[in-house]
Amino acid sequence: MPAPEVSIVIPTRNEGTYLAYTVYWILTNSNGVFDFEIIVVDDGSTDNSIRRLLQLCGDPRLKIVAGERQGPGRARNLGGREAKGQYIVFIDAHCYTPQNWLEGLIAPLLDPTIAMVGCAFADLNRPNAGIGVGCSWGTPALDMVWLPQRSFDVHQVPLLPGGCQALRTEDFLSFGQYDPGMKHIGSEGEEQSIRCWLMGYQVVVQPRVVVHHLFRDHPPYHVRPPELIYNRLRTALLHFTSERFARVVEALKHTPHFSEQILALLESDTMIHRAAWSKRRERSDEWFFRHFRIPI
């Protein structure tokens, strides 16, 4: 087989039948201009979703990689390091991908100033409920809010969620990997987005590509809510001024287990990574918040 042009990375854990459906729709609706591979990273599944996928799909473009039950961000990193394509698309294991979705996501990356491209999202179970096109932070607690569809043209957005993102492989390996210091799940896409902006690149959304995503109240595995708070605090400490970080702390300080998480943050490697990213910055966080009119 020739080397693929695009590597599609799917992190999965206990996704049941959704994993096989996601792979099926990718194989069915990605037969366009690009040769591609699919890398499924099994992040410690305990159901039979991987076995069912292999029974249903013998496509030679499919590869299974064993993860270590470390969460979707680290699973994506593992799959990205296995990628052979010039481009990487990360997508969740519970999505419907429409015709020509792959070409739509990759096309903006021909602009070297664009580091990351996202899609528009619709609800898999409620397709008429509305479409989210990128996201932003709505409060100093870093609560994520969806942005409404305002154009069918590719345009800048402050943040992309982790559910579907495309990058050049060289950029992913250089500065675009998901932060391995995050705890399990939460905020990994937002942290990656602001990092790209501060590095001097653009983060954009391709609204003509609408991926239908399963939005669950709870993931199919245990998530500790305090870890979600830790990830928000880590994002802020990595990239915000001390004054803006203090506003985030003030907004979160009454949440359960806050003291435990702030202590864990201060004992972590966050300050080392903050210093390393600061040296590579082309923009300040003040520029970012002013540019997108985010009142934090």
Mean pLDDT of 24-42: 92
Does any domain span residue 146? yes
Q: 80 and 37 in contact (C-beta within 8 Å)?
A: no
Amino acid at 3: A
Q: 64 and 40 in contact (C-beta within 8 Å)?
A: yes
Domain region containing 141: 6-213
Instruction: Give the pLDDT score at 93.
Output: 94
Instruction: Give the pLDDT score at 56.
Output: 85
Locate 77 and state its tokens: 């990193």
What is the pLDDT of the chain when averaged over all its residues? 92
Does any domain span residue 234? no
Does any domain span residue 249? no
pLDDT band at residue 1 under the 50/70/90 scheme:
low
Q: 161 and 144 in contact (C-beta within 8 Å)?
A: yes
Q: What are 262-289's pLDDT values in tens digits?
A: 999 999 999 999 999 999 999 999 999 9
Q: Using alpha carbons only, what angle is made at residue 172 by residues 10 and 68, rounded to the nearest 5 degrees?
A: 45
Does any domain span residue 285? no
Instruction: Give the pLDDT score at 220.
Output: 60
Instruction: Give the pLDDT score at 12.
Output: 94
Most confident of 49-53, 161-165, 184-188, 200-204: 200-204
Instruction: Give the pLDDT score at 224.
Output: 73
Widest CA span of the chain, in angstroms? 56
Closest CA to 74 of 186, 223, 197, 213: 186
The whole-angstrom separation of Cα 27 and Cα 21 is 10
Q: What is the CATH number of the domain that holds 46?
A: 3.90.550.10
Amino acid at 2: P
Mean pLDDT of 169-189: 88
Mean pLDDT of 134-157: 94
pLDDT above 80: residue 174: yes
pTM above 0.85, yes or no: yes
The whole-angstrom separation of Cα 163 and Cα 28 is 20
Instruction: Give the pLDDT score at 102.
Output: 96
pLDDT band at residue 222 under the 50/70/90 scheme:
low
Number of domains in the chain: 1
Does any domain span residue 198? yes
Does any domain span residue 246? no
Does any domain span residue 186? yes
Mean pLDDT of 12-30: 94
Does any domain span residue 282? no
Instruction: Give the pLDDT score at 71.
Output: 82
